[in-house]
A and B are shown apart, each in its own frame.
Chain A
Amino acid sequence: MCLGVPAKVVRIEGQEATVAIGSVEYQSSLLLIDDVKVGDYILLHAGFVIEKIDPAEAEETTRLFNQISNMEQE
């Protein structure tokens, strides 16, 4: 369940943020999230921004994948 799609915040107008999923734009609700800024990557679920995506953690995850998958050569 819970189809969540990553999107980028393009504009903020009060309680709403225009977010871009690729080149598709959607006016999402900010009623469930604090401190969202233009340029942030967020997770969109059923029209609501439910969480921010942390770019540093995303990089860390990628680093972990690589570390683990390279263990073969040890």
Chain B
Amino acid sequence: MDGYRDAALAEKLSAQVYRFSKTPVRLMEVCGGHTAAIHKYGLKDFLPGTINLLSGPGCPVCVSSQKFVDQAIFLGRRKGVILTTYGDLVRVPGSVSSLEKEKSRGADIRMVYSVLDAVKIAKENRGRQVVFLGIGFETTAPASAAAIMRAEQEKVYNFFLLSAHKVMPPALESLAGGDTQIDGFLAPGHVSAITGTMIYQKLADVYHRGVVVSGFEPADILQSVLLLIKQVESGHFLVENEYTRVVKKEGNPRAIAVMNRVFNLVDAEWRGLGIVPESGLAIAPEFANHDANLEFNIRVPDCQLPKGCICGDILTGRKNPAECSLFSVRCTPVNPIGACMVSSEGACSVYYKYKT
């Protein structure tokens, strides 16, 4: 893996990007992991001014609605409930509180590395209701699905999922079709590992945007940018796969099958994009007894985004974090106002941390 981080190789790939890049282009790195890698390795130093990189909606924490966080907090305050979650969600602000704050006030909130750890916690605490907060796209949703199937199989009926899982293609298509000028997409490598590369075909064929499925090492990203530029320069748009060591055309059929068995597509709210049709994953009737939405009568008021926050414009690539009046003044990683500041991969958080 170290070879992909080699400075000499990065330098050479960069030279090629300089050589081929002529017209100014706007490229969106869809995945927060790409955003983080670009900043972590200082990759913007390798790209000419003609290339404008935009951070897309591929950070699950960022696109999860404030209402979802409020629902989680509602559950955390219920007596007897153990909330389990991936780490990133802990600091996301709801309309009045966050899981971190609720925890310091006594809610039983536990961070897990795997959703199966949450099932284990449920097994060890049969008298309590254990809720896992399901966030993430096609990469992560199959894990939640597998956990539900396991809980059902092992009769762990006190395990519940509050699903905010989402799928990527409808959001990308809404971006390609909207008023945002995006010439090409650096497609999310690990989503594609599950889904395969065919889900992006419409972006190239119908919307005439470049698509390159990219890995996460510096050389992967520079190479993918180079491939995208060549597409834009030639005017010939297609779906290319740079990350062939992991991503196959057909994806991971078993993971897809598990996901499809447990979830059904529903309309879902994305922070910044609003309601996107058939972009959310809700638990199918067969597994309804593990659906936190059905088990609990979750009542939270509808909420407005905080005043001045331009998370939506940032996620859609219309603006960058520096254009927000709250950025680094009132909105910082410790006191985030918008969700883009919350995740360490969120566009605002990354800008804040690595501002150059």
> Is there any pair of Cβ atoms, one from A and one from B, under 8 angstroms apart in the complex?
yes
Q: In whole angstroms, how far apart are the Cα atoms of A33 and B142 in the complex?
A: 11
User: Does any Cβ of A come within 8 Å of B50's Cβ?
Assistant: no
Number of interface residues of A (CB under 8 A): 33
Interface: A32 (CB within 8 A): yes
In B237-257, the 8 Å CB interface with A consists of: 242, 244-248, 252, 254-255
- Which residues, 135 to 189 on B, are CB-close (under 8 Å) to A? 136-137, 139-140, 142-143, 146, 149-150, 188-189
B13 and A69 contact, CB distance less than 8 A: yes
The residue from B19, B142, B216, B223 contacting A32, defined by CB atoms under 8 A apart: B142
Asked if B288 is at the interface (CB within 8 A of a chain A CB), the reply is no
Kindly state the separation between the CA atoms of A62 and B215 in the bound complex, as whole angstroms.
Answer: 12
Check B254 against A47 for contact (C-beta < 8 Å).
no
Note all chain B residues with C-beta closer than 8 A to A31: 146, 149-150, 258
Q: Does B52 count as interface, using CB distance less than 8 angstroms?
A: no
Q: Do the beta carbons of B254 and A2 come within 8 Å of each other?
A: no
- Can you report 15 residue pairs joining A to B where beta carbons are below 8 Å apart? A1-B140, A2-B33, A4-B190, A6-B1, A32-B143, A43-B190, A45-B140, A45-B190, A46-B143, A47-B113, A54-B246, A61-B215, A68-B12, A70-B12, A72-B15
B residues near A (Cβ < 8 Å) are 1, 3, 9, 12-13, 15-16, 19, 31-33, 58-61, 86, 113-117, 136-137, 139-140, 142-143, 146, 149-150, 188-191, 193-194, 215-216, 219-220, 223, 226, 242, 244-248, 252, 254-255, 258, 345
A residues neighboring B (CB under 8 Å): 1-4, 6, 29, 31-34, 43, 45-48, 50-51, 53-55, 57-58, 60-62, 64-66, 68-72
